[in-house]
Structure 1
């Protein structure tokens, strides 16, 4: 680690736990995180922090999707706690042993009395030589849900929904069981039934049990179902109220609330443009983080058709003591205070579809989910 200013490492006690877990298939359970203000180079033989300032429960332990041999460990220091600096972070196992330790950039956690009361997320990455068979858990009874944790849970839920939809909408089963239709031409005879002088006609609504019904009427009374469409430009095929359409190209789910003036050949995009469907996709599913530039004081509109989260970060020393805020539809939904010292503040706000949002101040690009 000599070439890295900030880093994390697994202690000797942690290495022993990994060796045992790989041999016995036991689960490594991590429970606590400690932070301290000592400035030094951590070593693997440590059993404790040099200068502990606060202990907190772990929030999540998640395998890194971009690197399967890394785990991301996260803890949250609540807004009620503060008044100390952070330079060292330790992660502890269920038996109280120090599993991993990290040297982190200087961060000051203020108190409410010092003019800033915000939750502080501590996140460190631990690397393993091979984590293929390694199972690490965190106690779910002490988890405080953060945005990243919720996003991971939503992704798991999405996978479960897709699996169930695949079972319900098995295309091969439909192809085997679908009915065969016969088209009759003018004056064509069907033996022992009737001679048609023209194509069969009917009213939209039949007047007796033996009358043929119009296809549009049959569609309108059919039961709603779930349909998977590859793109927004794909024809619906079904027009029953309550039908749900999942679009594979954008991972969004829609429900039909108005089937007037549409046919089975109408596209999903046309329904969206004419507000005949509503987007019922769970929050966060199918969305990606975007870093973009916005201007303070300008009113923006969420035109994605879905609720989004906007985040603005204000670094230390950005302004003298100033109140900052995010407004949604003219109402302040997130606010804070920066004091021009070492305090860093992050504001978040949820913006519903077609709602407006405005930043009072900005200190660089924002993040949108």
Structure 2
């Protein structure tokens, strides 16, 4: 097994199977991090229903299908400046009912707060292998969600290409081209 990994919990597997059977996507709404088992890394397993020691929970920032592997879903969370201080060693994804859908072992990463003399927003990704990526979705809270640079670049490029095509068509129509 790799040093760091994510897995769908037993509860998550049951919820995902039910979502596929019902033709309704499984909502992933909350992202949590913990500092591990008494401040130490451990190997999570699919029978867990909670993180060993949760230290922060917030909204999922983004859920997307991995462009490099369509059988994987990437779930992203953003820990704000105000979260901390703690060391992240475990991550979890939760349903609207508060059920732990997936859990992961994360490389030890210190999250300071401003009063410690340094501060950072911490961007955390969890990658999940699933058989039906269409069965997973995200419920957005627009007051919390941020866009990745790649997402913004893609949207801006698409919009500029559409605008350029429209302008070219209008200039051609008016005999300017």
Work out whether the TM-score is over 0.5.
yes
- Cα deviation, 1:276-313, whole Å, max 9, x if unaligned, reads xxxxxxxxxxxxxxxxxxxxxxxxxxxxxxxxxxxxxx
- TM-aligned CA deviation for residue 4 of structure 1: 0.7
Aligned to 1:29: 27
Partner residue of 1:225 out of 162, 167, 171: 171
Partner residue of 1:111 out of 110, 113, 137: 113
C-alpha contact (below 8 Å) 2:26/2:136 kept by paired residues: yes
Answer yes or no: is 1:15 the counterpart of 2:16. no
Aligned to 2:138: 137
C-alpha contact (below 8 Å) 1:29/1:139 kept by paired residues: no
Answer yes or no: is 1:127 the counterpart of 2:145. no
Instruction: Provide the aligned length of Structure 1 versus Structure 2.
Output: 171
- Cα deviation, 1:138-185, whole Å, max 9, x if unaligned, reads 3243313332442454466568x38x959x96xxxxxxxxxxxxxxxx
Residue ranges of structure 2 left out of the alignment (5+ in a row): none
Aligned to 1:6: 4
Answer yes or no: is 1:43 the counterpart of 2:51. no
Bigger helix share: 2
C-alpha contact (below 8 Å) 1:61/1:138 kept by paired residues: no
Q: Could you say what secondary structure the match of 1:225 adopts?
A: helix
Q: Give the whole-Å Cα distance in 1 for the aligned partners of 2:110 and 2:101.
A: 24
Residue ranges of structure 1 left out of the alignment (5+ in a row): 170-223, 228-237, 241-263, 265-369
C-alpha contact (below 8 Å) 1:75/1:121 kept by paired residues: yes
C-alpha contact (below 8 Å) 2:28/2:139 kept by paired residues: yes
- TM-aligned CA deviation for residue 226 of structure 1: 6.1
C-alpha contact (below 8 Å) 1:87/1:107 kept by paired residues: yes
* TM-score when normalising by structure 2: 0.84
* TM-score when normalising by structure 1: 0.42
Aligned to 1:56: 58
Aligned to 1:205: none
Q: Give the whole-Å Cα distance in 2 for the aligned partners of 1:18 and 1:157.
A: 35
Aligned to 1:74: 76
Higher Cα Rg: structure 1 or 2? Answer: 1
Structure 1's consecutive aligned runs of 4 or more residues displaced over 6 angstroms after TM superposition are none
Q: Give the whole-Å Cα distance in 2 for the aligned partners of 1:86 and 1:129.
A: 28
C-alpha contact (below 8 Å) 1:30/1:139 kept by paired residues: no
